[in-house]
Amino acid sequence: MKINAQRLLENLDRYAQIGKMGSIGVERIALSEEDKRARDLLKAQMIDAGLQVHIDQLGNMNGIRKGKREGNPVAFGSHLDTVYSGGRYDGALGVLAGLELIQTLNDNQIETEKPLALVNFTNEEGVRFAPDMMGSHVHAGMADLSDILNSPAYDNPNETVGSCLKSIGYDGEMEPGAIQFDAFYELHIEQGPVLELEQIDIGVVEQVQGIYWTRYKVLGEANHAGTTPVYYRKDAGFAAAKIQQFIGKYTRRKEGKVLTTVGSVKLSPDAINIVPESAVFTLDVRSTDEALLRKAQKRIDKYIEETVEADELNFEREELVRFSPVRFPLSMTDSVQIATQSLGLTYKRMSSGAGHDAQMMAHFCPSTMIFIPSVRGISHNVEEFSHDKDVENGANVLLAAVLRKSSS
């Protein structure tokens, strides 16, 4: 049994019109008007496909399909929200392939042993409200709902998650996580270049990297660039550059086992002729190995302390995120591999560099992910693209894996 590729691709295109940006991009920020329209469409399509729809207090959408037996459903899905200037596949692929899976079972009049659940998680991207992977985080019982409901928008502290959920009418009744899942599958684009480079159809995702995010502020003294002798300077920008260089070299020494990135640097006062008095920069560290992750963080923190001290400066440090690596159970990753092989497709067992809802769900039930190739590895970008054939392959692997899991 195969999914209806045409129907899925048309539906992907339909959702891509909601918040359309550029020729193929999408900007559909969590809890915005566009998010509401996409949710309304999903709800209608869920009902149309015969699902019983439950909205929880955080706006997570669960569409339940009865099985022959009672019990915990086999779940699958992802998120419908995007980043600013985002793409049409990141998140939407997993939700709409899940819907297509259900429509295919309906077409073939198949009733599974276990129930099924199609899930759309709230605010996976976390670009307007922290934290990211918000809906799955709370669903998995890893954060307090009321704290999260009070989370203010970055750009407008007067808007909170709670107030926006109300505005768009998705402040539901159900307690998050009330429906226990038997398992959770997330189909997603790779967001990296490996599958395309190696010309492989499917990524069998064994683990999600741990993510440590830290923000630092180096404090020096602003001084005139022309009149201040070097010995008198407390140049926060120079110190930050040395630190940035160390961080960049560190990852290159670790040959891929630990990834370190400085994505943001802001100097102040940021004027051509003033020695910087402060430098705020961010550090993103990732590894599938928690020990290596901790060691990298510690080594970098030590270098920062030493450098700041040697230059007679000060610094502040703020931990933003500490997500541990997550390893998916063999039974789940094997089920994806078997499904892939049964379809005659090539696969590679690999890690996910990006955080995903499945990473949170792994704390809730046996979970895993299925990757399809990203053209040039680009995502979080209006040019994000995956080939139709890969979209179809991914959806078929999802269908095969879910079918097998829901009949055992």
Is 125 annotated to bind ligand?
yes
Instruction: Report the nearest approach of a second copy to the CB of residue 325 (Å).
Output: 12
Token couple for 247: 């961080």
Q: Which range, of 28-36, 142-150, 242-250, 340-348, touches a second copy by CB under 8 A?
A: 242-250
Would you say 348 and 255 are in contact if contact means Cβ atoms under 8 Å apart?
no
Q: What does the alpha-carbon distance between residue 179 and residue 90 come to, in Å, rounded to a whole number?
A: 25
Q: For 234-267, b where at least 16 C-beta lie within 10 A, e where not — what string?
A: bbbbbbbbbbbebbeebbeeeeeebbbebeeeeb
Q: Is 235 in the site for a second copy (CB under 8 A)?
A: yes
Intra-chain end-to-end CA distance of the chain, in Å? 18
Q: Which range, of 1-9, 60-68, 96-104, 184-192, touches a second copy by CB under 8 A?
A: 184-192
Query: Based on CB atoms, which residue is closest to a second copy, 141 or 248?
Result: 248
SS3 387: coil
Query: Based on CB atoms, which residue is closest to a second copy, 167 or 228?
Result: 228
∠ CA 381-385-386, nearest 5°, is: 145
Q: Which range, of 40-48, 112-120, 220-228, 293-301, touches a second copy by CB under 8 A?
A: 220-228
Of all residues in the chain, what percent are helix, strand and coil, respectively (each to 5)?
A: 35, 25, 40
Hey, what's the torsion of the CAs at 292, 297, 298, 302, to 10 degrees? 140
Q: Is 307 in the site for a second copy (CB under 8 A)?
A: no
Is 139 annotated to bind ligand?
no
Helix (H) or strand (E) segment spanning residue 202: strand 202-208
Token couple for 223: 């001084």
Q: Which range, of 48-56, 138-146, 165-173, 222-230, touches a second copy by CB under 8 A?
A: 222-230
Among positive and negative, which fits the CA dihedral 219, 213, 305, 246?
negative
Q: Is 242 in the site for a second copy (CB under 8 A)?
A: yes
Query: Based on CB atoms, which residue is closest to a second copy, 110 or 265?
Result: 265
Among 4, 167, 244, 341, binds a second copy (CB under 8 A): 244
Q: What does the alpha-carbon distance between residue 77 and residue 244 come to, in Å, rounded to a whole number?
A: 38
Helix (H) or strand (E) segment spanning residue 281: strand 278-287
Q: Is 193 in the site for a second copy (CB under 8 A)?
A: yes
Q: Give me the 369-398 binding string for a second copy, x by CB under 8 A, dash otherwise.
A: --------xxxxx-----------------
Q: Is 237 in the site for a second copy (CB under 8 A)?
A: yes
Q: Give me the 308-347 binding string for a second copy, x by CB under 8 A, dash otherwise.
A: ------------x---------------------------
- Residue 232 per-residue DSSP state: G
Among 146, 173, 199, 224, binds a second copy (CB under 8 A): 224
Token couple for 88: 């049409």
Is 363 annotated to bind ligand?
no
Would you say 73 and 64 are in contact if contact means Cβ atoms under 8 Å apart?
yes
Query: Based on CB atoms, which residue is closest to a second copy, 135 or 276?
Result: 276
Query: Based on CB atoms, which residue is closest to a second copy, 149 or 218?
Result: 218
Query: Based on CB atoms, which residue is closest to a second copy, 74 or 326?
Result: 326
Query: Based on CB atoms, which residue is closest to a second copy, 61 or 204?
Result: 204
What's 333-367 look like in SS3? Answer: HHHHHHHHHHCCCCEEEEEECCCCHHHHHCCCCCE
Would you say 19 and 84 are in contact if contact means Cβ atoms under 8 Å apart?
no
Q: Which range, of 61-69, 276-284, 295-303, 333-341, touches a second copy by CB under 8 A?
A: 276-284
Helix (H) or strand (E) segment spanning residue 120: strand 116-121
Instruction: Report the nearest approach of a second copy to the CB of residue 397 (Å).
Output: 20
Q: Is 266 in the site for a second copy (CB under 8 A)?
A: yes
Among 142, 274, 292, 345, binds a second copy (CB under 8 A): 274
Q: Which range, of 5-13, 156-164, 208-216, 334-342, touches a second copy by CB under 8 A?
A: 208-216
**Which residues in this chain contact a second copy in the complex, by CB under 8 A?**
190-194, 209, 211, 213, 215, 222-232, 235, 237-238, 240-242, 244-245, 248, 251-252, 256, 259, 261-267, 269-276, 282, 284, 286, 320, 352-355, 377-381
Binding residues for Zn(2+), by number, are: 79, 90, 125, 188, 380
